[in-house]
Amino acid sequence: QVQLQESGPGLVKPSETLSLTCAVSGYSISSGYYWGWIRQPPGKGLEWIGSIYHSGSTYYNPSLKSRVTISVDTSKNQFSLKLSSVTAADTAVYYCARGTFGGVIHRTWGQGTLVTVSS
Amino acid sequence: NFMLTQPHSVSESPGKTVTISCTRSSGSIASNYVQWYQQRPGSSPTTVIYEDNQRPSGVPDRFSGSIDSSSNSASLTISGLKTEDEADYYCQSYDSSNHWVFGGGTKLTVL
């Protein structure tokens, strides 16, 4: 079965760039599907950040588009998120997930990683 | 783009039936599939309904989904409520540009 695991710094300074990686096991990213990032601020709801298709096409939340880059490294079977110019409002649990064009596929969410933006 | 609006919270007693609504602000609810996710405290979300009314394997048939074009909304219905159903529930759909849109979430209390 496919498993996803997020990794990256748990603390990022304001104005810097948040960088996270999602390692995928049990399935080759290059074989198909969309690979997405979703975040959840403490005590709040889910927010879609963006997705990348296995071919490399990217789709970003319009409200974050100017600050977001999602990329794939097929050699390592992982995909990454970069969010620039972060502020405290970007503090959240960040999830990676596998999906279709329509949403996340059952049981293919990562466990999530908390990223705090603070000096 | 459109928004999906859910009630902030709902509560019901064990054994009863509860329905959570998800109203689309613009465009037809029937245009794009709706998914429903359950999230228990401290856990990642998990799908309970996909493509409007389909249940993934392992999800009890107490969970059902539907859409209503007249109210431009989707609904998640949970029958025979159990205490283990207490969680946050999120609806989600997408637009023509493959952008995913989440509802604000509904906290279900089973008391």
Contacts of B80 (CB under 8 A, 6+ apart): B15, B17, B62
Per residue in A47-96, pLDDT (tens digit) is 999 999 988 999 999 999 999 999 999 999 999 999 999 999 999 999 99
Q: Give the H or E element holding residue B76.
A: strand B73-78
pLDDT value, residue A106? 87
A94 touches chain B (CB under 8 A): no
Q: What percent of chain A has pLDDT over 70?
A: 100
Q: What percent of chain B has pLDDT over 70?
A: 100
Are the Cβ atoms of B35 and A45 closer than 8 angstroms?
no
Does position B61 have pLDDT exceeding 90, yes or no? yes
- pLDDT-derived band at A117 (thresholds 50, 70, 90) equals very high
- Round to whole Å and give the CA distance between B53 and A84: 38
Are the Cβ atoms of A104 and B90 closer than 8 angstroms?
no
**Exposed, middle or buried by CB within 10 Å (0-12, 13-18, 19+), for B62?**
middle
Please tell me which residue of chain B has the smallest CA distance to A109. Answer: B44
Q: Which amino acid is at A101?
A: F
Q: How many helices (H) and strands (E) does chain A have?
A: 0, 11
Out of B35, B37, B44, closest to residue A102 by CB: B35
Task: Kindly report the average pLDDT of chain A as a whole number.
Answer: 96
- pLDDT-derived band at B1 (thresholds 50, 70, 90) equals confident
Mutate to test the interface with A, among B1, B90, B100 (most CBs of A within 10 A): B100
A99 touches chain B (CB under 8 A): yes
| Residue whose pair of structure tokens reads 């609810």 in the numeric block | B29
pLDDT value, residue B67? 98
pLDDT value, residue B20? 98
pLDDT value, residue A61? 97
Q: Token pair for residue A34?
A: 């969309």
**Å from A101 to nearest chain B CA?**
6
Per residue in B70-90, pLDDT (tens digit) is 999 999 999 999 999 999 999
Q: Are B90 and B103 in contact (CB under 8 A)?
A: yes
Out of A45, A48, A104, closest to residue B47 by CB: A104
- Round to whole Å and give the CA distance between B101 and A47: 8
Q: How many helices (H) and strands (E) does chain B have?
A: 0, 10
Please tell me which residue of chain B has the smallest CA distance to A113. Answer: B44
Checking phi first, is residue B25 left (phi over 0); if not, alpha (psi -120 to 50) or beta? alpha
In terms of pLDDT, which residue wins out, A105 or B106?
B106
Q: Are A70 and A37 in contact (CB under 8 A)?
A: yes
A-chain residues near B33 (CB < 8 A): 102-103
